[in-house]
C-alpha cells in the first residue's frame, strides 16, 4: 500500500501541534511500507498557494516536546474561504487543485472550530479529510478534551499561583485575565486550580455589584486580598443585554485595553481597594507540552493514521470518556462546546465558595 498524505496546522498555535503531527507520522511510517507526507506551510495558505515541503522521518524526530508548529500556522477565517483573495483567486478551487495535483490520498487538518469548518467544506467538496482537535479553549464540540488545553491550563494556573504571594503581601485585589473569548473552560479550570475567589466567564454574565460585594465580604472575614480569574470574553449583564451591533460599538468606545482593566476600575470605584491586573496572554500558548498533552496527542495522531489506512474520511478524531474515536465533520462543524452554567463543575465550585459574579 502506498500513501500520499498532506498535513497542515491551522489557526492559533498551541503546545502540542508538533506532538500530534509526530503521532500521525510515526504511526504511518511504522505501519505503511510506502508513505509520503507533504507538509503545507502556514496552514490553509500553503494549500491554497502550493507552498509545501515533502517531509522525511527525521523531520518528526525530537519534536514531541517542542511547542509551536514546525509547519507554521495562520488564521484563515471560514467566512472568507468562499471570498476570492486580492488577486481574484478562488480559494476553495485552489485548495482542491493542489490536493489533486499532488495526488493526495488524504489531508490531515490540525485545528480548532474555524479550521474544522473549512475541513468539512473540503470534505463536502469531495476531498478525503481527517480533522484533529486543537485548541487551548477546549471548545470543540464532540470531544471531551482538545490537545493544547492541559498545557495552557498549566501556564494559566501557574500565573494565578504566582500572583497569590504578592496579593497576600500587599493586601490587594488581583485580576488574572485568562484566554477565552467565547468560552470559559480554561478560566474555569485555572481559577479552581489556582484558588481564585471569583471567576468570571463569558457564559455567566456578571453583576459588578455582586463582584464588589464578594470582595467586601472577604474583607469582613479578615481576608485582605482577593484573586479574580477573568476570561478575556467575560461580559457584564448590562452588556449581555445589548444587541451584537451595540456591543461592538461599546467595545470600540471603551478606554480600557481589555475587560480585566474595566472590571478593575469598577472594583476600585465600588470598594476603594487597590487592584492590579495581570495578563499572561500568549504565554498560555507557548512552551513545551505537558505530559498529559504528549500522551493525548500521540493517541490522537496514531488513531488518525489508522483511519487513513482504513480509508475512513470526513471525520474529526475525538476523545470521549478517555476512548479515542471519531465523529463526522458534518456533525461537529460550527458547534461550540460552551460551559453550561448549571453543570457539575460550576455547582461544585459554588459549593466551595467561589463567586461567579451573578
The Cα 156–Cα 154 span in angstroms is 6
The secondary structure of residue 233, as a DSSP letter, is T
What residue has cell string 486543537?
Answer: 134
Distance CA 256, CA 261 (A): 6
For residues 2 and 337, what is the distance between their CA atoms, to the nearest angstrom?
37
Cell of 277: 491586573
Hunting for cell 457539575 — which residue is that? 344
CA dist 308 → 4, 6, 88, 258, 339 (Å): 10, 11, 34, 44, 33
Q: Which of 116, 81, 78 is nearest to 95 (CA)?
A: 81
Residue the block writes with cell 476570492:
84
Among the listed residues 342, 354, 344, 353, the one whose alpha carbon sits nearest the alpha carbon of residue 203: 342
Structural Rg of the chain based on CA atoms: 22
CA–CA gap between residue 123 and residue 96 (Å, rounded): 10
Among residues 137, 139, 197, 293, the one annotated as catalytic is: 137
Catalytic status, residue 137: yes
Give the catalytic positions in this structure: 137
Amino acid at each position: 500500500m502506498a500513501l500520499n498524505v498532506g498535513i497542515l496546522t491551522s489557526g492559533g498555535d498551541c503546545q502540542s501541534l508538533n506532538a500530534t503531527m509526530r503521532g500521525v507520522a510515526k504511526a504511518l511510517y511504522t505501519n505503511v511500507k510506502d508513505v509520503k507526507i507533504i507538509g503545507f506551510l502556514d496552514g490553509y495558505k500553503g494549500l491554497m498557494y502550493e507552498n509545501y515541503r515533502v517531509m522525511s522521518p527525521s523531520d518528526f524526530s525530537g519534536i514531541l516536546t517542542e511547542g509551536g508548529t514546525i509547519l507554521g500556522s495562520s488564521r484563515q477565517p471560514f467566512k472568507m474561504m468562499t471570498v476570492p483573495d486580492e488577486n481574484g483567486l478562488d480559494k476553495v478551487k485552489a485548495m482542491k487543485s493542489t490536493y489533486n495535483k499532488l495526488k493526495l490520498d488524504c489531508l490531515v487538518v490540525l485545528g480548532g472550530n474555524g479550521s474544522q469548518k473549512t475541513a468539512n467544506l473540503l470534505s463536502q467538496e469531495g476531498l478525503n479529510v481527517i480533522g484533529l482537535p486543537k485548541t487551548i479553549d477546549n471548545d470543540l464540540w464532540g470531544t471531551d478534551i482538545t490537545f493544547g488545553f492541559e498545557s495552557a491550563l498549566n501556564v494559566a494556573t501557574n500565573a494565578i499561583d504566582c500572583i497569590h504571594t504578592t496579593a497576600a503581601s500587599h493586601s490587594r485585589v488581583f485580576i488574572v485575565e485568562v484566554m477565552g473569548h467565547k468560552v470559559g473552560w480554561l478560566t474555569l479550570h485555572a481559577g479552581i486550580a489556582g484558588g481564585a475567589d471569583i471567576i468570571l466567564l463569558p457564559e455567566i454574565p456578571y453583576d459588578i455589584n455582586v463582584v464588589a460585594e464578594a470582595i467586601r465580604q472577604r474583607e469582613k472575614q479578615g481576608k485582605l486580598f482577593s484573586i479574580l480569574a477573568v476570561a478575556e470574553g467575560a461580559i457584564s449583564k448590562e452588556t449581555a443585554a445589548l444587541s451584537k451591533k451595540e456591543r461592538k460599538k461599546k467595545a470600540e468606545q471603551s478606554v480600557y485595553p481589555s475587560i480585566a482593566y474595566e472590571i478593575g476600575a469598577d472594583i476600585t470605584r465600588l470598594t476603594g481597594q487597590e487592584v492590579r491586573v495581570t495578563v499572561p496572554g500568549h504565554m498560555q500558548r507557548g512552551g513545551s507540552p505537558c505530559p498529559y498533552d504528549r500522551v493525548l496527542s500521540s493517541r490522537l495522531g496514531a488513531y488518525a493514521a489508522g483511519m487513513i489506512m482504513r480509508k475512513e474520511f470526513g471525520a474529526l478524531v475525538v476523545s470521549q470518556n478517555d476512548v479515542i474515536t471519531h465523529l463526522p465533520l458534518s456533525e461537529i462543524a460550527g458547534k461550540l462546546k460552551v460551559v453550561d452554567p448549571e453543570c457539575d463543575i460550576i455547582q461544585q465550585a459554588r459549593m466551595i465558595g467561589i463567586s461567579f459574579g451573578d
